[in-house]
Protein backbone atom coordinates (compact mmCIF):
# COMPACT_ATOMS: atom_id res chain seq x y z
CA UNK A 1 0.00 0.00 0.00
CA UNK A 2 2.84 2.34 0.92
CA UNK A 3 4.62 1.56 -2.36
CA UNK A 4 1.46 2.25 -4.39
CA UNK A 5 1.13 5.60 -2.59
CA UNK A 6 4.68 6.51 -3.47
CA UNK A 7 4.06 5.65 -7.12
CA UNK A 8 0.91 7.79 -7.14
CA UNK A 9 2.81 10.71 -5.61
CA UNK A 10 5.55 10.46 -8.23
CA UNK A 11 3.01 10.36 -11.07
CA UNK A 12 1.11 13.29 -9.54
CA UNK A 13 4.33 15.29 -9.24
CA UNK A 14 5.26 14.52 -12.83
CA UNK A 15 1.80 15.66 -13.91
CA UNK A 16 2.22 18.95 -12.08
CA UNK A 17 5.64 19.38 -13.64
CA UNK A 18 4.24 18.79 -17.12
CA UNK A 19 1.41 21.25 -16.55
CA UNK A 20 3.85 23.85 -15.24
CA UNK A 21 6.10 23.35 -18.24
CA UNK A 22 3.17 23.70 -20.66
CA UNK A 23 1.96 26.80 -18.83
CA UNK A 24 5.43 28.35 -18.98
CA UNK A 25 5.62 27.56 -22.71
CA UNK A 26 2.24 29.19 -23.35
CA UNK A 27 3.20 32.19 -21.27
CA UNK A 28 6.48 32.46 -23.15
CA UNK A 29 4.69 32.38 -26.51
CA UNK A 30 2.23 35.03 -25.40
CA UNK A 31 5.01 37.22 -24.03
CA UNK A 32 7.06 37.40 -27.25
CA UNK A 33 7.46 41.07 -28.02
CA UNK A 34 9.50 43.39 -30.16
CA UNK A 35 10.51 46.66 -28.46
CA UNK A 36 10.07 48.82 -31.56
CA UNK A 37 6.74 47.23 -32.41
CA UNK A 38 5.56 47.78 -28.84
CA UNK A 39 6.26 51.49 -29.13
CA UNK A 40 4.49 51.62 -32.47
CA UNK A 41 1.36 50.33 -30.75
CA UNK A 42 1.57 53.20 -28.29
CA UNK A 43 1.98 55.83 -31.04
CA UNK A 44 -0.88 54.50 -33.20
CA UNK A 45 -3.69 57.04 -33.55
CA UNK A 46 -7.37 56.33 -32.98
CA UNK A 47 -8.08 56.14 -36.73
CA UNK A 48 -5.39 53.51 -37.29
CA UNK A 49 -2.70 55.74 -38.77
CA UNK A 50 0.51 57.14 -37.31
CA UNK A 51 1.89 60.67 -37.08
CA UNK A 52 5.27 61.80 -38.36
CA UNK A 53 5.39 64.44 -35.62
CA UNK A 54 3.81 64.79 -32.22
CA UNK A 55 1.64 67.68 -31.07
CA UNK A 56 4.74 69.65 -30.03
CA UNK A 57 6.31 69.17 -33.52
CA UNK A 58 8.92 66.68 -32.26
CA UNK A 59 9.72 63.94 -34.78
CA UNK A 60 8.55 60.40 -34.00
CA UNK A 61 11.58 58.25 -33.14
CA UNK A 62 10.86 54.70 -32.07
CA UNK A 63 14.34 54.07 -30.74
CA UNK A 64 13.65 56.50 -27.88
CA UNK A 65 12.22 54.84 -24.72
CA UNK A 66 8.83 56.19 -23.67
CA UNK A 67 8.93 57.99 -20.34
CA UNK A 68 6.16 59.89 -18.59
CA UNK A 69 6.89 63.17 -20.37
CA UNK A 70 6.97 61.54 -23.82
CA UNK A 71 3.79 59.61 -23.08
CA UNK A 72 2.03 62.88 -22.31
CA UNK A 73 3.07 64.23 -25.74
CA UNK A 74 1.89 61.07 -27.46
CA UNK A 75 -1.49 61.24 -25.76
CA UNK A 76 -1.86 64.88 -26.80
CA UNK A 77 -1.36 63.96 -30.48
CA UNK A 78 -4.75 63.46 -32.14
CA UNK A 79 -5.99 61.64 -35.23
CA UNK A 80 -5.65 64.93 -37.15
CA UNK A 81 -1.91 64.21 -37.27
CA UNK A 82 -2.51 61.05 -39.32
CA UNK A 83 -0.34 61.09 -42.44
CA UNK A 84 1.52 59.11 -45.10
CA UNK A 85 4.21 61.79 -45.35
CA UNK A 86 7.84 60.90 -44.54
CA UNK A 87 6.93 57.19 -44.60
CA UNK A 88 4.53 57.58 -41.66
CA UNK A 89 1.91 54.80 -41.48
CA UNK A 90 3.51 52.78 -44.30
CA UNK A 91 6.70 52.42 -42.22
CA UNK A 92 4.75 51.15 -39.22
CA UNK A 93 2.55 48.74 -41.18
CA UNK A 94 5.60 47.17 -42.82
CA UNK A 95 7.43 46.88 -39.51
CA UNK A 96 4.47 45.45 -37.61
CA UNK A 97 3.80 42.79 -40.25
CA UNK A 98 7.42 41.69 -40.04
CA UNK A 99 7.31 41.76 -36.22
CA UNK A 100 4.20 39.57 -36.28
CA UNK A 101 5.90 37.11 -38.62
CA UNK A 102 8.75 36.82 -36.11
CA UNK A 103 6.90 36.89 -32.78
CA UNK A 104 3.37 35.71 -33.69
CA UNK A 105 2.11 38.47 -31.42
CA UNK A 106 -1.44 39.07 -32.68
CA UNK A 107 -1.47 42.63 -31.36
CA UNK A 108 1.05 43.57 -34.06
CA UNK A 109 -1.01 42.11 -36.89
CA UNK A 110 -4.19 43.72 -35.57
CA UNK A 111 -2.48 47.12 -35.44
CA UNK A 112 -1.14 46.67 -38.99
CA UNK A 113 -4.59 45.74 -40.28
CA UNK A 114 -6.10 48.77 -38.55
CA UNK A 115 -3.48 50.81 -40.41
CA UNK A 116 -4.54 49.18 -43.68
CA UNK A 117 -8.15 50.14 -42.96
CA UNK A 118 -7.00 53.74 -42.62
CA UNK A 119 -5.14 53.67 -45.95
CA UNK A 120 -8.12 52.18 -47.76
CA UNK A 121 -10.45 54.79 -46.28
CA UNK A 122 -8.10 57.68 -47.10
CA UNK A 123 -7.87 56.90 -50.83
CA UNK A 124 -9.73 59.33 -53.08
CA UNK A 125 -12.27 58.04 -55.59
CA UNK A 126 -9.87 59.09 -58.36
CA UNK A 127 -7.26 56.73 -56.93
CA UNK A 128 -4.88 59.21 -55.31
CA UNK A 129 -4.06 59.68 -51.65
CA UNK A 130 -3.75 62.95 -49.73
CA UNK A 131 -0.66 63.69 -47.70
CA UNK A 132 -2.82 63.90 -44.56
CA UNK A 133 -6.25 62.47 -43.77
CA UNK A 134 -8.63 63.68 -42.47
CA UNK A 135 -6.78 67.03 -42.18
CA UNK A 136 -7.58 68.89 -45.41
CA UNK A 137 -5.81 72.17 -44.63
CA UNK A 138 -3.37 73.83 -47.01
CA UNK A 139 -1.58 71.45 -49.39
CA UNK A 140 -2.25 68.45 -47.12
CA UNK A 141 -5.30 67.50 -49.19
CA UNK A 142 -3.34 67.35 -52.45
CA UNK A 143 -2.60 64.05 -54.17
CA UNK A 144 0.94 63.55 -52.94
CA UNK A 145 3.72 61.68 -54.71
CA UNK A 146 6.23 63.86 -52.83
CA UNK A 147 8.75 61.85 -50.80
CA UNK A 148 7.19 58.69 -52.30
CA UNK A 149 4.08 58.96 -50.10
CA UNK A 150 1.65 57.33 -52.55
CA UNK A 151 4.19 54.86 -53.91
CA UNK A 152 4.89 53.62 -50.38
CA UNK A 153 1.17 52.95 -49.94
CA UNK A 154 0.79 51.30 -53.34
CA UNK A 155 3.74 49.02 -52.66
CA UNK A 156 1.99 47.79 -49.52
CA UNK A 157 -1.21 47.17 -51.47
CA UNK A 158 0.72 45.34 -54.18
CA UNK A 159 2.47 43.24 -51.52
CA UNK A 160 -0.93 42.16 -50.20
CA UNK A 161 -2.13 41.22 -53.68
CA UNK A 162 1.03 39.24 -54.49
CA UNK A 163 1.58 37.88 -50.95
CA UNK A 164 5.04 39.45 -50.93
CA UNK A 165 7.29 40.83 -48.17
CA UNK A 166 5.47 38.93 -45.39
CA UNK A 167 2.02 40.31 -46.28
CA UNK A 168 0.70 36.79 -46.72
CA UNK A 169 -0.13 36.96 -42.99
CA UNK A 170 -2.85 39.60 -43.29
CA UNK A 171 -6.48 38.55 -43.38
CA UNK A 172 -7.38 37.34 -46.86
CA UNK A 173 -10.33 39.74 -47.03
CA UNK A 174 -7.74 42.48 -47.67
CA UNK A 175 -6.61 40.95 -50.97
CA UNK A 176 -9.63 42.09 -52.98
CA UNK A 177 -9.61 45.48 -51.27
CA UNK A 178 -5.92 45.95 -52.03
CA UNK A 179 -6.40 44.84 -55.62
CA UNK A 180 -9.06 47.51 -56.08
CA UNK A 181 -6.83 50.14 -54.43
CA UNK A 182 -3.94 49.25 -56.77
CA UNK A 183 -6.21 49.41 -59.81
CA UNK A 184 -7.47 52.87 -58.87
CA UNK A 185 -4.01 54.06 -57.85
CA UNK A 186 -2.58 52.91 -61.17
CA UNK A 187 -5.33 54.75 -63.01
CA UNK A 188 -4.42 57.91 -61.10
CA UNK A 189 -0.73 57.50 -61.99
CA UNK A 190 -1.50 57.11 -65.68
CA UNK A 191 -3.84 60.11 -65.67
CA UNK A 192 -1.34 62.36 -63.92
CA UNK A 193 1.67 61.63 -66.14
CA UNK A 194 2.34 65.05 -67.63
CA UNK A 195 2.01 65.41 -71.40
CA UNK A 196 4.13 67.97 -73.25
CA UNK A 197 3.33 68.68 -76.89
CA UNK A 198 1.59 65.34 -77.23
CA UNK A 199 4.37 63.37 -75.54
CA UNK A 200 4.20 61.99 -72.02
CA UNK A 201 7.05 62.92 -69.67
CA UNK A 202 7.20 62.29 -65.90
CA UNK A 203 5.15 63.34 -62.85
CA UNK A 204 4.78 66.31 -60.53
CA UNK A 205 5.23 65.93 -56.79
CA UNK A 206 1.69 67.08 -55.95
CA UNK A 207 -1.62 67.48 -57.76
CA UNK A 208 -4.86 69.25 -56.99
CA UNK A 209 -7.14 66.51 -55.71
CA UNK A 210 -10.06 67.67 -57.85
CA UNK A 211 -8.59 68.91 -61.13
CA UNK A 212 -5.55 66.58 -61.19
CA UNK A 213 -3.44 69.57 -62.22
CA UNK A 214 0.14 69.91 -60.86
CA UNK A 215 0.16 71.94 -57.65
CA UNK A 216 2.71 73.60 -55.38
CA UNK A 217 3.30 72.55 -51.78
CA UNK A 218 5.73 74.39 -49.51
CA UNK A 219 6.96 77.82 -50.62
CA UNK A 220 10.13 76.32 -52.11
CA UNK A 221 8.34 73.39 -53.80
CA UNK A 222 6.73 74.84 -56.96
CA UNK A 223 4.39 73.00 -59.29
CA UNK A 224 6.89 71.25 -61.54
CA UNK A 225 8.17 67.99 -62.96
CA UNK A 226 9.71 66.08 -60.06
CA UNK A 227 12.52 63.64 -60.81
CA UNK A 228 13.09 61.92 -57.47
CA UNK A 229 9.43 60.95 -57.05
CA UNK A 230 9.04 59.97 -60.70
CA UNK A 231 11.86 57.44 -60.40
CA UNK A 232 9.96 55.46 -57.78
CA UNK A 233 6.68 55.81 -59.64
CA UNK A 234 8.39 54.08 -62.58
CA UNK A 235 9.75 51.42 -60.23
CA UNK A 236 6.24 50.74 -58.97
CA UNK A 237 4.94 50.46 -62.53
CA UNK A 238 7.69 47.95 -63.29
CA UNK A 239 6.42 45.78 -60.41
CA UNK A 240 3.15 45.13 -62.21
CA UNK A 241 2.93 41.64 -63.67
CA UNK A 242 1.71 41.33 -67.24
CA UNK A 243 1.63 45.11 -67.76
CA UNK A 244 -0.78 46.54 -70.28
CA UNK A 245 0.40 48.43 -73.34
CA UNK A 246 -0.58 51.65 -71.56
CA UNK A 247 1.66 50.85 -68.58
CA UNK A 248 4.55 49.88 -70.85
CA UNK A 249 4.21 53.15 -72.75
CA UNK A 250 4.12 55.17 -69.51
CA UNK A 251 7.37 53.54 -68.42
CA UNK A 252 9.19 53.97 -71.72
CA UNK A 253 8.04 57.59 -72.08
CA UNK A 254 9.36 58.39 -68.59
CA UNK A 255 12.69 56.72 -69.34
CA UNK A 256 12.98 58.69 -72.59
CA UNK A 257 12.37 61.92 -70.67
CA UNK A 258 15.06 61.07 -68.13
CA UNK A 259 17.54 60.35 -70.90
CA UNK A 260 16.74 63.70 -72.52
CA UNK A 261 16.83 65.76 -69.30
CA UNK A 262 20.02 64.36 -67.76
CA UNK A 263 22.86 66.76 -66.96
CA UNK A 264 26.31 65.40 -67.77
CA UNK A 265 29.72 66.64 -66.68
CA UNK A 266 28.64 68.23 -63.39
CA UNK A 267 27.92 67.23 -59.80
CA UNK A 268 26.14 69.15 -57.06
CA UNK A 269 28.48 69.45 -54.10
CA UNK A 270 30.24 71.78 -51.71
CA UNK A 271 32.76 74.14 -53.21
CA UNK A 272 36.43 73.62 -52.26
CA UNK A 273 36.18 76.21 -49.46
CA UNK A 274 33.31 74.19 -47.90
CA UNK A 275 31.17 77.28 -47.38
CA UNK A 276 28.54 76.85 -50.06
CA UNK A 277 27.13 74.40 -52.60
CA UNK A 278 26.70 74.50 -56.34
CA UNK A 279 27.47 72.75 -59.61
CA UNK A 280 31.06 71.57 -59.93
CA UNK A 281 32.63 70.18 -63.09
CA UNK A 282 32.99 66.39 -63.03
CA UNK A 283 33.38 64.54 -66.37
CA UNK A 284 32.12 61.26 -64.89
CA UNK A 285 28.96 62.63 -63.31
CA UNK A 286 25.37 62.29 -64.55
CA UNK A 287 22.71 64.08 -62.51
CA UNK A 288 19.20 65.52 -62.67
CA UNK A 289 17.71 68.62 -61.09
CA UNK A 290 15.01 67.93 -58.50
CA UNK A 291 12.45 70.14 -60.26
CA UNK A 292 11.94 71.02 -63.94
CA UNK A 293 9.66 73.60 -65.52
CA UNK A 294 6.41 72.01 -66.71
CA UNK A 295 6.71 73.46 -70.22
CA UNK A 296 10.38 74.14 -70.93
CA UNK A 297 12.00 71.22 -69.06
CA UNK A 298 14.55 73.65 -67.62
CA UNK A 299 15.68 73.17 -63.99
CA UNK A 300 13.91 75.49 -61.55
CA UNK A 301 14.50 76.31 -57.89
CA UNK A 302 12.06 77.58 -55.28
CA UNK A 303 12.69 79.67 -52.19
CA UNK A 304 10.84 80.54 -49.00
CA UNK A 305 9.58 83.76 -50.60
CA UNK A 306 7.45 81.68 -53.04
CA UNK A 307 9.55 82.91 -55.95
CA UNK A 308 10.88 80.52 -58.59
CA UNK A 309 14.40 80.92 -59.99
CA UNK A 310 16.25 79.43 -62.97
CA UNK A 311 19.68 79.53 -61.34
CA UNK A 312 20.43 77.87 -58.03
CA UNK A 313 22.89 80.65 -57.21
CA UNK A 314 19.94 83.04 -57.02
CA UNK A 315 18.11 81.34 -54.13
CA UNK A 316 18.94 81.96 -50.48
CA UNK A 317 22.01 80.37 -48.88
CA UNK A 318 19.80 78.54 -46.39
CA UNK A 319 17.68 76.87 -49.09
CA UNK A 320 20.64 76.23 -51.39
CA UNK A 321 22.31 74.26 -48.62
CA UNK A 322 19.20 72.74 -47.07
CA UNK A 323 17.57 70.82 -49.91
CA UNK A 324 18.46 68.10 -52.42
CA UNK A 325 18.31 70.26 -55.55
CA UNK A 326 20.23 67.77 -57.72
CA UNK A 327 20.75 64.04 -57.52
CA UNK A 328 21.83 60.89 -59.35
CA UNK A 329 18.32 59.44 -59.02
CA UNK A 330 17.94 58.09 -62.56
CA UNK A 331 21.23 56.25 -63.03
CA UNK A 332 20.39 52.81 -61.65
CA UNK A 333 16.91 52.88 -63.16
CA UNK A 334 18.13 53.73 -66.64
CA UNK A 335 21.29 51.63 -66.74
CA UNK A 336 20.27 48.50 -64.80
CA UNK A 337 16.62 48.21 -63.81
CA UNK A 338 14.91 49.33 -67.00
CA UNK A 339 16.96 47.09 -69.35
CA UNK A 340 16.20 44.13 -67.10
CA UNK A 341 12.50 44.97 -67.05
CA UNK A 342 12.50 45.50 -70.82
CA UNK A 343 14.01 42.08 -71.43
CA UNK A 344 11.47 40.41 -69.15
CA UNK A 345 8.55 42.17 -70.81
CA UNK A 346 9.26 41.61 -74.46
CA UNK A 347 11.23 44.78 -75.15
| Residues assigned a catalytic role | 86, 218
| Helix axes of 227-239 and 245-261: crossing angle, nearest 10 degrees | 150
The one-character DSSP state at 132 is B
CA dist 313 and 97 (Å) reads 46
- In 3D space, the residue among 188, 182, 212 whose CA is nearest the CA of residue 119 turns out to be 182
CA dist 58 and 46 (Å) reads 19
Asked if 77 contacts 55 with a C-beta cutoff of 8 angstroms, the reply is yes
- In 3D space, the residue among 92, 137, 140 whose CA is nearest the CA of residue 116 turns out to be 92
Across the chain, which distance is largest between two alpha carbons, in Å?
103
CA dist 289 and 226 (Å) reads 8
Residue 337 sits at φ, ψ, to 5 deg, of: -70, -45
Asked if 192 contacts 207 with a C-beta cutoff of 8 angstroms, the reply is yes
Amino acid sequence: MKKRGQIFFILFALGLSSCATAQQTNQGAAAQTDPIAERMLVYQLSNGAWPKQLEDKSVVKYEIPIDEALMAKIKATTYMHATIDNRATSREINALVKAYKTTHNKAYLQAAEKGLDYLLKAQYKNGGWPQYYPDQSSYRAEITYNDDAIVNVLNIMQDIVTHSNDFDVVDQTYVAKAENAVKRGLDCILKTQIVQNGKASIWAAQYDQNSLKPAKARAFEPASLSTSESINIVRFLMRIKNPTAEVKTAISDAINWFNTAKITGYKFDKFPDGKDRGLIADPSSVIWARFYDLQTNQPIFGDRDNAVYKNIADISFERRNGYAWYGTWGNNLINKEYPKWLKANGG
